[in-house]
Amino acid sequence: MAAKTINITLKIWRQKNCNSKGNMETYTLNDVSTASSFLEMLDQLNEQLINDKKEPVAFDHDCREGICGMCSLYINGRAHGPDNGVTTCQLHMRMFEDGATIYVEPWRSAAFPVVKDLVVDRSAFDRIQQAGGFVSVNTSGRTMDANAIPIPKEDADKAFEAAACIGCGACVATCKNGSAMLFVGAKVSQYALLPQGKVEATQRALNMVRQMDDEGFGNCTNTGACEIECPKGISLDNIARLNREFLKASLVSNK
């Protein structure tokens, strides 16, 4: 498909820093190639803003190939915009009509405070991960080869699917309750399914859920919106598994 160019109007959240009150600003951007990605379009806008001696729009990005989980953006009421199963860096301007008005907002969550403009602090996810999203391995030099433990193919596949979570936070941004259950569900599942992870399963479920609650995320009400908007297609199966793991853990844990 030959690339053409479109003219668009952007309504973007501008916020100086975490303490200031932000507001939506309107920009017009002409001659945007439909072959460019959404982030390339924002680069083009920033070039225009710099040329006009204005402050460029801050937004998160890194690998620009959909695997790092760094880009975010709530575009026209959808996390990562109108395409399915993609991150914002994989979203192309061909998804928009000429003359379109596009709303660009940061993830909205009490646990993800805005740092500047469209950049939010997602370190809450890191702290949840640190609370239990790992397996303890002896590194004294006699580490066992992980492949020496037989794992049923089906379990390995499910664990891999859960591990596909890139921690972008689209689930939280999409959820009407700002719940992080899909993220925590995926992180708990990827270990719960494997023999190496079963050793610490009880404490993992308890600690990660406690950290999730402490960070101020909302409660899951099973609307299923997260599963639809997740760029990696993480399934609600993982939330159900977390529900089982936590129930089991709270009944058997000594703590």
Partner 1 sequence: MSKSVLLKSSLAKKYWMAATGLFLCLFLVGHLLGNLQLITHTGESGRRAFNEYAYFMAHNPFIKVMSWMTYISILFHIIDGILLTVENKKARPIGYAHAAGTKSSTWSSRNMALLGSLILVFIVMHGAHFWYKAKVKHDMLLHKVTVQSPNGPAELYVTTAGSYLPVQGVKVKNHTEFFEPSVDIKLGEGYKDLHSVVIAFFSGKETNGVPGNENALFAVIFYVIAMVVLAFHLMHGFASAFQSLGARHPKYTDTIKNVGNGFAILIPLLFAIIPVIIWKLYN
Hey, what are 33's tokens?
């190639």
Does 123 participate in binding partner 1 (rule CB under 8 A)? no
Total residues binding partner 1 (CB under 8 A): 52
Does 13 participate in binding partner 1 (rule CB under 8 A)? yes
Burial zone of 58 (CB within 10 Å; 0-12 exposed, 13-18 middle, 19+ buried): middle
Does 161 participate in binding partner 1 (rule CB under 8 A)? no
Burial zone of 77 (CB within 10 Å; 0-12 exposed, 13-18 middle, 19+ buried): exposed
* Backbone angles phi and psi of 176, in degrees to 5: -65, -20
Does 183 participate in binding partner 1 (rule CB under 8 A)? no
Does 178 participate in binding partner 1 (rule CB under 8 A)? yes
**CB-nearer residue toward partner 1: 6 or 242:** 242
One residue of 85, 144, 221, 233 binding partner 1 per CB under 8 A: 221
Does 105 participate in binding partner 1 (rule CB under 8 A)? yes
Residue ranges in 25-54 that form contacts with partner 1 under rule CB under 8 A: none
One residue of 39, 206, 211, 234 binding partner 1 per CB under 8 A: 206
**CB-nearer residue toward partner 1: 48 or 243:** 243
The DSSP output letter for 90 is G
Residues 117 and 106 sit within 8 Å (Cβ to Cβ)? yes
Does 5 participate in binding partner 1 (rule CB under 8 A)? no
> What helix, strand, coil percent values describe the chain, rounded to 5?
40, 15, 45
Which residue, among 50, 36, 45, 48, has the nearest Cα to 59 in the 3D structure? 45
Query: If you compute the radius of gyration of the chain from its CA atoms, what whole number of angstroms results?
Result: 20
The DSSP output letter for 94 is G
**CB-nearer residue toward partner 1: 7 or 219:** 219
Nearest approach, Cβ of residue 88 and partner 1 (Å): 15
* Residue ranges that bind partner 1, judged by CB under 8 A: 11, 13, 24, 74, 76-78, 103, 105, 108-111, 174, 176-179, 206, 209-210, 212-213, 216-225, 228-229, 236-237, 239-247, 250-255
